[in-house]
Amino acid sequence: MKHKSLERLVYIALISSILFFFQNCSEAENPTEFDCEFSDLRIEFNSNNPNNCSSKDGSIIPVVTGGKGPYQFSLDSSPFQTGARFENLGAGTYQLNVKDQNGCIKSVSVNLQSPESDLTASIETTDSGCNLNNGTIIIEPLGGVEPYTYRLNNGSLSATNAFFELQSGNYKVEIINNTGCSTTQTVKVLNGVKFNETIWPILETNCAITGCHLEQGNITFTKFENIQVRTTDILARIQSGNMPKNRPRLNQNDIDAIICWVNDGALEN
């Protein structure tokens, strides 16, 4: 009788240890989170150009199919809103974004053109570095009438077509030609942290290990999409110290690198 009781106690202890280990590694995980890679969400648009160079009477109206409603919309880097119409717009190139109830986001570029001008611009950027200010924006105006002036965000007009010492983030670029016609674009300066070079070695060493995120079905970190759709949860966990489990806390450089990579859009680069 004592022998059977001992076996029972050993069995209970073993099961409790297994459950404790996996709970510690995976608590608050959401393995049923929707994979946006398979979403049929699509966005198109109807638009009206501004009447002239100086007017801000253009508009963009999203047209959405698929996904899961209700939808939210944003223009460039503005917050998402329920309203499905953007008005009081001047000539320029805009990024129209839609987000559905699954958290999936799709985007499309919209160009509003003044009938009085063919002014556009080609814009190149270089990375800032993680938490650094080494980014640049270089503008090449196309069309319109020379000379041109340039403005970054709400800054002063400048005759120089290049901006230096920039941190990562979104910037509104305005180009104005000699007749007063203008065009705007929003561009993003990236931190430049690469997944393959920097992020994966951190996750491979600390998280994609046996008994944790190596072989646990659809939350294995050996699949990039399982990492990409969980970036919000990963950020919260590494910043709180809950990830990695049963291992030393990540050093601040590794945490900063992951944050910078996520802020760049969690790219597979």
Asked if residue 17 is part of any domain, the answer here is: no
The answer to whether residue 99 sits within a structural domain is yes
Residue 128 within any structural domain of the chain: yes
User: Which residue type sits at 66?
Assistant: G
> Is 4's pLDDT higher than 60?
no
State the total domains in the chain. 3
Residue 81 pLDDT class (50, 70, 90 cuts): very high
Given 112, 145, 169, which residue is the final one in a domain?
A: 112
What pLDDT is stored for residue 214 in this prediction?
62
76 and 50 share one domain:
yes
Same domain, 198 and 240: yes
CATH number for the domain harbouring residue 126: 2.60.40.1080
For residues 32-51, give the mean pLDDT. 86
Q: What is the pLDDT of residues 186-211, one digit of tens each?
A: 999 999 999 999 999 998 888 877 66
pLDDT score of 7: 56
Q: Which whole number is the average pLDDT over 144-166?
A: 95
- The mean predicted confidence, pLDDT, of the chain is 85
In a domain, 28, yes or no: no
149 and 204 part of one domain: no
Q: Is residue 11 part of a domain?
A: no
Does one domain contain both 185 and 231?
A: no
Q: Could you tell me if 104 and 46 lie in one domain?
A: yes
Which domain covers residue 261, as residue numbers? 193-269
Residue 3 confidence class, pLDDT cut points 50, 70, 90: low
Residue 32 confidence (pLDDT): 52
Residues 51 and 106 in one domain: yes
265 belongs to a structural domain: yes
Tokens of 30: 């959401």
Separation CA 210–CA 264 (nearest Å): 29
Percent of the chain with pLDDT over 70: 85
Mean pLDDT of 210-237: 75
pTM (2 d.p.): 0.76
Whole-angstrom Cα Rg for the chain: 25
pLDDT of residue 98: 96
Q: What is the pLDDT of residues 90-114, one digit of tens each?
A: 999 999 999 999 888 999 999 999 8
Are 107 and 144 within one domain?
A: no
Name the band, by pLDDT with cuts 50, 70 and 90, for residue 33.
Answer: low
Q: Are residues 153 and 107 in the same domain?
A: no
Q: Is residue 10 one of the residues assigned to a domain?
A: no
Domain boundary among 189, 220, 236: 189
Domain termination site, one of 82, 112, 142: 112
Residue 24 lies in a domain: no
The b/e string for 206-245 (b: 16+ C-beta within 10 A; e otherwise) is bbbbeebbeebeebebeeeebbbbbbeebbebbeeeebbb
| Average pLDDT of the segment spanning 238-253 | 86
